Amino acid sequence: MSFLQSTLKVYRIILFHSFLVVLHDLAGAADPPYKNCSSTANFTENSFQDHVISLFASLTSNASVSNFHQASTEDNPDSVYGLYLCYQYASKDDCGKCIATAALDIQKLCPNSNEAVVWEDKCQLRYSNQNFFGFLDVTGNIVQENTQNVSKAEQFPLLVNSTLHNLRNVAAFDPSAGMNAAQKVEFANETLHALVQCTRDLSPDDCNLCLETAITNISPWYFSRGARLLSRSCYLRYELYDFFGDAPRPPSSTPNPKKRAQLNWSRRLDIIKGIAKGMLYLHQDSRLRIIHRDMKPSNVLLDKDMNPKISDFGMARIFGGSDSAANTAKIVGTYGYIAPEFAMEGLYSIKSDVFSFGVILLEIITGRTNAKFHLSKHAPSLLAYIWQLWNQGKCLELIDPLSNDSHDDEFLRYMHVGLLCVQEDAYDRPAMPSVVKMLMSDTVTLCQPERPAFSVGRIADHHQTCYNNLSLNNLTMSDILPR
């Protein structure tokens, strides 16, 4: 255990889990509701207005059940068409309340309009005397920006831009996403929260177009600490505070702050290699075989020279002889990092630690956090997202925009090794000696990864890979089994 105990001066991990301070800083931006009331109607009768009111009653009754609904009253010539959209982070209860508020606001703000839309904090509501269902409308988009700028502005626009583009892809083209996508990304000592969402009457291509327009509209404000883009057909918002409404995490009480370093690419690779060697030691080189069972970034400590040390052996199991797997009724570990066979069956082995290592590796190179990654309620894992891009040959989109000195070939290789480690079937995962070999040498041929755990969905496997032009599978690495 001397490897572990030698660390006296430790710095709590500075990867991506630290210092979450929630700032409510919409300074300067007007508060919702926002509105657009078009052309005043010249009704001869009150029947249109009556229809509007009865339509709202019907929509409001739906809102506590479903986050999107469209309805119309069919009574020519005074038909009225309406729909609402509640944003991804609104609960059913929130949605019901929000639409009730929006229905009151729209009548107050837009009296006698034959077309109107209001945007609230958690929803938007629109009606018209024309049938607009299924029609993309990006005219009259409104930007609401926070007038406060970010203080260290060089990399923030890059991060916002790449985050929004990724989210747009998912919302438009991932059929399981429900036409929305949200994400949290650590930025310096703060967290970027971003959301994009389309009204569900749009086609995927129109959703993509709407969000593309929204991103273009908002791009001049990338220096702002937050902004919203209000459109009739879609919605986009990013903030440096948690507008999703999750419980804020308590600030960390570490002594680490002035020492926080920018982790450049080569340093990240060193940290990954260091963690791999530490695990190799536990699994094979120490006199007893130790399975850690709770590998996660906050259990990796960095010493003053940024060498990683694995810590917190509270969950570890020590094995004698040749045993390398066991079963337990008590599931321990941390959501986002535990292997499927352990989470579901209580079965753990050295391969369960390899899984956790793979998640950490992928987080370090992409700058994204698995446990906090919720692109949509249906595709909740970073692993699923990486697998999707891998099969689309788009891996380079995942490079952490804050590691601007990375090399594409190294990035692909590390991503490949990470994917091999998080394969669903523990048997397919390499053991740590192989992992270390793969990380240390760029001549070892890697085999094709199988689908990762927790990535069920309609993602086509082996459709295409990021190495289409490299020959894979010529040589399959066999695991070097521990003595």
Selected from 39, 54, 130, 131, the binder of ligand NAG by CB under 6 A is 39
DSSP 163-180: HHHHHHHHHHH-GGGTTE
Which strands, in side-by-side order, build the sheet including 226-230?
142-145, 226-230, 234-239, 190-198, 180-187
- Of residues 382 through 441, those in contact with ligand NAG by CB under 6 A are 404-405, 412
Q: Is 54 in the site for ligand NAG (CB under 6 A)?
A: no
Beta carbon nearer to ligand NAG, 130 or 327:
130
- Chosen residue from 109, 112, 143, 165 binding ligand NAG by CB under 6 A: 165
CB 293, CB 316: distance < 8 Å: yes
38 binds ligand NAG (CB under 6 A): yes
CB of 74 to ligand NAG, least distance (A): 14
Residue 449: alpha-carbon gap to chain centroid: 22
Phi and psi, residue 303, nearest 5°: -85, -175
| Contact range with ligand NAG by CB under 6 A, out of 74-82, 294-302, 421-429, 462-470 | 462-470
Q: Residue 418's closest CA among 272, 244, 232?
A: 272
Q: Does 105 bind ligand NAG (CB under 6 A)?
A: no
Angle between helices 408-421 and 382-391 (to 10 degrees): 120
Tell me whether residue 109 or residue 347 sits nearer to ligand NAG (CB atom): 109
Total binding residues for ligand NAG by CB under 6 A? Answer: 38
What is the secondary structure of 342-390 as a DSSP string?
Answer: HHHH-EEEHHHHHHHHHHHHHHHHHT--STT--SSSSS--HHHHHHHHH
Q: Does 470 bind ligand NAG (CB under 6 A)?
A: yes
- Residue whose C-alpha is closest to residue 174's, from 152, 192, 154, 196: 196
Kindly state the tokens that stand for 163.
């985050």
Stretch 67-96: interaction string toward ligand NAG, x if CB under 6 A: --x---------------------------
Q: Counting contacts by CB under 6 A, is residue 363 touching ligand NAG?
A: no
DSSP state of 285: I
Residue 147 engages ligand NAG in binding (rule: CB under 6 A): yes
**Can residue 216 be called a binding residue for ligand NAG (CB under 6 A)?**
no
Least spacing, CB of residue 328 vs ligand NAG, in Å: 40
CA distance 341 to 319: 19
Residue 444 CB burial class (10 angstroms; 0-12, 13-18, ≥19): middle
Residues 236-265 that bind ligand NAG (CB under 6 A): 264
For residues 185 and 194, give the distance between their C-alpha atoms in angstroms, rounded to a whole number.
8
* Among positions 111, 140, 245, 314, the unique one binding ligand NAG when judged by CB under 6 A: 140
- Rule CB under 6 A: is residue 469 a binding residue for ligand NAG? yes
- The rounded distance, in Å, linking the Cα atoms of 190 and 196 is 20
Q: How many residues does the chain have?
A: 483
- Please report whether residue 223 would count as binding ligand NAG according to CB under 6 A: yes
Residue 87 in tokens = 């944003």
CA distances in angstroms from 131 to 63, 83, 258, 317, 355, listed in the order given: 21, 11, 58, 64, 52
Integer Cα distance of 89 and 376 in angstroms: 10
Closer to ligand NAG at the Cβ: 155 or 298? 155
Residue 329, classified by CB atoms within 10 Å of its CB into exposed (0-12), middle (13-18) or buried (19+), is exposed
Catalytic residue among 105, 294, 353, 400: 294
Q: Contact with ligand NAG (CB under 6 A): which of 62, 72, 254, 448?
A: 62
- Closest approach, Cβ 39 to ligand NAG, in A, equals 5
User: Binding segment for ligand NAG among 83-91, 145-153, 174-182, 286-294 (CB under 6 A)?
Assistant: 145-153
Q: How far is the CB of 240 from ligand NAG (least distance, A)?
A: 8
58, 131, 464, 476: residue in contact with ligand NAG (rule CB under 6 A): 58
Reading the block at residue 409, the tokens are 């070939």
Q: Does 464 bind ligand NAG (CB under 6 A)?
A: no
SS3 157: helix
Span from 178-186, 385-393, 447-455, 463-471 in contact with ligand NAG (CB under 6 A): 463-471
Nearest CA among 55, 2, 10, 21 for reference residue 299: 10
461 is catalytic: no
Which is nearest to 165 in space by CA: 196, 119, 135? 196
Is residue 130 at the binding interface for ligand NAG, with CB under 6 A as the rule? no
| Tokens matching residue 306 | 């940024």
Nearer to ligand NAG, 153 or 440 (CB): 153
Site string for ligand NAG, 260-299 (x = CB under 6 A): ----x-xx--------------------------------
Smallest separation (angstroms) from ligand NAG to the CB of 157? 6
The residues annotated as belonging to the active site are: 294
Judged by the rule CB under 6 A, the positions of this chain that interact with ligand NAG are: 21, 23, 36, 38-39, 42, 58, 61-62, 65-66, 69, 139-140, 142, 147, 149, 151, 154-155, 161-162, 165, 189-190, 219, 223, 264, 266-267, 404-405, 412, 467, 469-471, 474
